[in-house]
Structure 1
C-alpha cells in the first residue's frame, strides 16, 4: 500500500512580500483559518464541422487562451493587520505573494507558487456575541510560477 502524502491545512501558507530588496515573505495572521489557491483558464470553443457529413453533430475543440490564479483566505479578524490590508486595497497596486506548501520536502512535492497579486476584495463581518471574521480575495496579475522546495 502507498498512502497519500498529505499536509495539514495550516501548512498551506499565504505569504505576502514586503517589496524590499531582497524581498522578505511572511504569512500575515489575518489569514488564520481557511486559505486556498485556485487556477483557471479562459478558453475559446470552436465547432469543427465534418466536411464529409455536414448534417451530423460536430465535435467541439477547446483551446486555452489565458491563465489566472486566485488566492482566498479567511479567519478571525486580526485587528493589527487592518491598516496594511486597507492600504494595499486602496493602492490598486500588486504585491508579490507566495502560496507555500510548508514543511514538505522536495521529493514529496514541496515548494510554492509565486506571482504578483492584486487585492481585489476583502470583507469584515461580525455577528452578535461572536468574534469578527475577515475574508480576502487576491487575483493574479501576470505569470504565476511553481518553485520546488530547496
Structure 2
C-alpha cells in the first residue's frame, strides 16, 4: 500500500505579486488565513453526432473544450492592515500576478505553483455581533494560468 502524499491546507498559499520590475516579489497576505483554493473551469461546446446507419437511434454527444479559466478563493478573519491594499486593488480593476503555491512540497512529491494574472472580482467583509469580522475574496484569471514545478 502506498500512502497518500498529503499536505496541510495551510501549506496552500495565495501569493500576490508586488508588480516590481525587474524582480517581482510574491507574498502571502494574512487576509487569507483560514480557507483558500483554486478551481479550474472550461467552457465547452456540445454537438450531437447522429448515427448514419440508424438515424432514429439515440445519438452520442461530442464535447470540445473552447476556453479555460481559473478562480482563486480565499477567506479568513479580517486582518485590518490588509484592508486598504485589497480595496485599492478592487477599485483599480487591474490584474495582478498571483501564485498559488504548494508550500514546502518538493518537486519529487508534486510540489510547485500555478501562476497567472488575476483580477479581484469579488471582495466581502462581514461581521456578526460578538464575533470577529471575516473576509472573503474571489480572483479570476485574466489570461493563461501555468504550472511551475518546484525547484
Does the pair score TM above 0.5?
yes
Encode CA deviations 1:108-142: one digit per residue, 9 max, x unaligned. 00000000000000000101000000000000010
Shift of residue 146, structure 1, vs aligned partner:
0.1
In structure 2, C-alpha distance between the alignment counterparts of 1:49 and 1:2, rounded to whole Å? 45
In structure 2, C-alpha distance between the alignment counterparts of 1:45 and 1:126, rounded to whole Å? 43
Q: How many residues end up aligned between the 2 structures?
A: 150
Shift of residue 52, structure 1, vs aligned partner:
1.0
In structure 1, C-alpha distance between the alignment counterparts of 2:91 and 2:128, rounded to whole Å? 26
In structure 1, C-alpha distance between the alignment counterparts of 2:76 and 2:59, rounded to whole Å? 48
Encode CA deviations 1:24-66: one digit per residue, 9 max, x unaligned. 0000000000000000000000000111111011100000000
Q: Is 1:124–2:125 an aligned residue pair?
A: yes
Give ranges in structure 1 of 5+ residues lacking alignment: none
Encode CA deviations 1:86-110: one digit per residue, 9 max, x unaligned. 0000101000000000000000000
What RMSD in Å do the two structures reach over aligned CA positions? 0.4
Task: Determine the structure 1 residue equivalent to 2:150.
Answer: 149
SS in 2 for 1:81: helix
Task: Determine the structure 1 residue equivalent to 2:4.
Answer: 4
In structure 2, C-alpha distance between the alignment counterparts of 1:4 and 1:82, rounded to whole Å? 38
In structure 2, C-alpha distance between the alignment counterparts of 1:55 and 1:105, rounded to whole Å? 55
Q: What TM-score, normalized to structure 2?
A: 0.99
Task: Determine the structure 2 residue equivalent to 1:18.
Answer: 18
Task: Determine the structure 1 residue equivalent to 2:134.
Answer: 133
Shift of residue 78, structure 1, vs aligned partner:
0.3
Task: Determine the structure 1 residue equivalent to 2:38.
Answer: 37
Task: Determine the structure 1 residue equivalent to 2:104.
Answer: 103
In structure 2, C-alpha distance between the alignment counterparts of 1:67 and 1:14, rounded to whole Å? 20
Q: What TM-score, normalized to structure 1?
A: 0.99
In structure 2, C-alpha distance between the alignment counterparts of 1:7 and 1:56, rounded to whole Å? 49
